[in-house]
């Protein structure tokens, strides 16, 4: 049997009547006046600071190589300038000396940096040597010249000043013979050799017909060859027969030396004679005064 269900209500359902919706009137909306809009200035944005880029780190070896290359270039430039300045000054000084003595000459400037001397126009410790062929008319004469405190300051009358000049001159026996043979009339043709006597301080012009004994001296700051004795064919001849010719000979050798250069001493050696010349606080001539100094 089916289970019993709920009791059945026979009364039908009545619809619930709908109430009419009442619209409640709202009070009119009142508009409240608003104050005028104010423009508030906006603060400027702060600048954005970007972090600085980190420097690139170089390889220490590369930095060392760059420094070495730069240093090498600087040294090479200075060395090149030093060599060029020395060569230029060498040619100028050697040319002037060669013109005065009429022989080839070479110049050295010591260990002092020459570029500094060149820019200051002040030179020290210069040494000039000639080839030894001759000095003017004197054959076989060699010069070694030392110059110090040379100041180049060109003016209308001079090229500058010279603090000190010292010269060592050697004159060989063969050079004396050749010079006498070529310059002194008559006597030169009779000379075949020259012998020196350092102990006595004399030298002897020897020939097949006789001999002339001379004593080299410094007289009035010039070289003089004083006749001690003259012999010929076994006879002693008067010294006056030879002395004038020798005076003219030595005068031609040393006259017109520039800058007051003068003889200070002379010595007879085993191979000839040795002389010392000097000058102090001298004025260097320019090309107008002496053509040999035109390039200074």
Cβ(148)–Cβ(163) under 8 Å? yes
Which pLDDT score is estimated for 276? 96
Terminal Cα-to-Cα distance of the chain (whole angstroms) = 158
Which pLDDT score is estimated for 137? 87
Which pLDDT score is estimated for 52? 62
> Mind listing the pLDDT tens digit for each residue in 25-48?
555 555 556 566 666 666 666 666
Structure tokens given for 270 = 């085993």
Which pLDDT score is estimated for 51? 62
Structure tokens given for 149 = 């405190």
Place of tokens 């001298």: 282
pTM: 0.71
For residue 126, what are the CA distances in angstroms to 93, 141, 263, 276?
A: 10, 20, 20, 17
Which pLDDT score is estimated for 72? 81
Place of tokens 């007051």: 260
Place of tokens 């010719």: 245
Name the 3-class secondary structure at 32: coil
In percent, how much of the chain has pLDDT > 90? 41
Mean pLDDT of 150-160: 91
> Mind listing the pLDDT tens digit for each residue in 158-216?
999 999 999 999 999 999 999 988 877 767 777 899 999 999 999 999 988 888 899 99
Mean pLDDT of 101-129: 88
Q: Tell whether the model's pLDDT for residue 2 goes beyond 60.
A: no
Q: Which of 77-81, 179-183, 289-293 has the lowest mean pLDDT?
A: 77-81
Cβ(139)–Cβ(112) under 8 Å? no
Q: Tell whether the model's pLDDT for residue 279 goes beyond 90.
A: yes
Q: Buried b vs exposed e over 166-205: b needs ≥16 C-beta within 10 Å?
A: bbebbbbbebbbbbbbebbeebbebbeebebeeeeebbbb
CA distance 266 to 215: 10
Angle at 215 between CA 209 and CA 217, to 5 degrees: 145
Angle at 165 between CA 201 and CA 116, to 5 degrees: 150
Which pLDDT score is estimated for 183? 79
Q: Tell whether the model's pLDDT for residue 153 goes beyond 70.
A: yes
pLDDT class for 83, splitting at 50, 70, 90?
confident
Cβ(215)–Cβ(202) under 8 Å? yes
Q: Tell whether the model's pLDDT for residue 17 goes beyond 60.
A: no
Q: Tell whether the model's pLDDT for residue 268 goes beyond 80.
A: yes
Cβ(210)–Cβ(230) under 8 Å? yes
Q: Tell whether the model's pLDDT for residue 265 goes beyond 70.
A: yes
Which pLDDT score is estimated for 200? 95
Cβ(253)–Cβ(138) under 8 Å? yes
Q: Between 173-183 and 243-254, two packed helices, what is the crossing angle to 10 degrees? A: 110
CA distance 190 to 210: 8
Mean pLDDT of 85-114: 88
Angle at 64 between CA 58 and CA 70, to 5 degrees: 115
Which pLDDT score is estimated for 214? 94
């Amino acid at each position: 049997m089916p289970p019993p269900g709920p009791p059945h209500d026979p009364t039908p359902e009545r619809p619930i009547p709908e109430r009419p919706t009442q619209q409640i009137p709202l009070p009119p909306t009142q508009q409240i006046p608003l104050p005028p809009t104010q423009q508030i200035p906006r603060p400027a944005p702060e600048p954005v600071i970007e972090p600085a880029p980190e420097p690139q780190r170089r390889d220490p070896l590369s930095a060392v190589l760059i420094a070495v290359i730069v240093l090498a270039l600087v040294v090479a430039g200075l060395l090149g300038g030093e060599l060029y300045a020395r060569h230029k000054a060498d040619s100028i000084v050697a040319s002037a000396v060669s013109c005065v003595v009429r022989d080839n000459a070479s110049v050295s400037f010591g260990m002092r940096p020459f570029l500094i001397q060149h820019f200051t126009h002040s030179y020290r410790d210069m040494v000039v040597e000639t080839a030894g062929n001759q000095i003017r008319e004197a054959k076989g004469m060699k010069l070694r010249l030392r110059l110090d405190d040379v100041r180049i300051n060109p003016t209308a009358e001079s090229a500058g000043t010279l603090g000190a000049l010292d010269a060592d001159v050697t004159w060989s026996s063969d050079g004396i013979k050749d010079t006498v043979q070529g310059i002194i009339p008559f006597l030169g043709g009779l000379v075949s050799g020259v012998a020196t006597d350092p102990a006595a301080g004399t030298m002897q012009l020897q020939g097949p017909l006789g001999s002339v004994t001379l004593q080299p001296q410094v007289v009035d700051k010039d070289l003089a060859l004083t006749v001690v004795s003259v012999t010929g064919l076994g006879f002693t001849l008067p010294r006056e027969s030879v002395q004038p010719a020798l005076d003219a000979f030595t005068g031609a050798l040393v006259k017109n030396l520039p800058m007051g250069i003068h003889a200070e001493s002379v010595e007879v050696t085993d191979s000839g004679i040795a002389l010392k010349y000097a000058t102090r606080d001298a004025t260097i001539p320019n090309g107008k005064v002496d053509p040999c100094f035109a390039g200074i």
